[in-house]
Amino acid sequence: MNFFYSTAVQITDYIHFYGYRPVKSFAIRIPASYTIHGIDVSRWQERIDWQRVAKMRDNGIRLQFAFIKATEGEKLVDPYFSRNWQLSRENGLLRGAYHYFSPSVAAPVQARLFLQTVDFSQGDFPAVLDVEERVMTPTY
């Protein structure tokens, strides 16, 4: 057996062992034991066909919710947020909004931008704060 094939089989076995399985039509691996599945989106996905997303099905699994990037830092409003916020709901998906936190900007300023941007409705998920570590120092 060739090395690369053997490694691929081992990785696949490892993923399946820990409860993840590939869903080819979604192009992702998902936890097999979860009863609800969703996506997170931002401007990087550009113009999303929400009608198509709402219809996505694969072997009994469907996408049921979306977390949508609303804001980042002090001034950035995702250019697709309003569209994504409206169309995700119109197409029957549960929705939530998130703010991408910038550690160099005061938290109250960021919260204000987020709350001015997002118009929550009954049934929406609570606000989410996306905090990611960015290492900006050189490694030696």
Would you say residue 62 lies in a domain? Answer: yes
Instruction: Assign 97 to helix, strand or coil.
Output: strand
- CA-to-CA dists, residue 5 to 1, 41, 95, 114, angstroms: 7, 33, 40, 48
Whether 5 maps to a domain, the answer reads: yes
Check residue 121 and give its pLDDT: 96
Residue 43 falls within a domain, yes or no? yes
Q: How far apart are CA 80 and CA 126, in angstroms?
A: 20
Q: Greater confidence, 127 or 34?
A: 127
| Residue 132 annotated to the active site | yes
Cα distance between residue 56 and residue 67, in whole Å: 17
Q: What is the mean pLDDT of residues 2-28?
A: 59
* DSSP string of 33-95, one letter each residue: T-S-EEEEE-GGG-S--HHHHHH-EETTEEEEEEEEEEEETTTEE-TTHHHHHHHHHHTT-EE
Query: Is pLDDT at 119 greater than 90 in this prediction?
Result: yes
**Separation CA 20–CA 22 (nearest Å):** 7
- C-beta neighbour count of 121 within 10 angstroms: 8
63 and 125 belong to one structural domain: yes
User: What whole-number distance in Å separates Cα of residue 50 and Cα of residue 63?
Assistant: 11
Residue 94 lies in a domain: yes
Stretch 26-55: mean pLDDT: 84
- Domains of the chain: total: 2
pTM of the full structure: 0.77
Question: Do 101 and 84 belong together in one domain?
Answer: yes
**Same domain as 3, residue 39:** no
Same domain, 5 and 44: no
* Residue among 46, 74, 132, 133 flagged as catalytic: 132
CB atoms within 10 A of CB 97: 24
Residue-number span of the structural domain to which 41 is assigned: 35-130
* Residue 66: other Cβ atoms inside 10 A: 25
Q: Label residue 137 by pLDDT band (50, 70, 90).
A: low
Q: What per-residue confidence (pLDDT) applies to 56?
A: 83
Q: What is the average pLDDT value for the chain, to the nearest integer?
A: 84
Q: In 3D, which of 68, 59, 46 has the Cα closest to residue 114?
A: 68
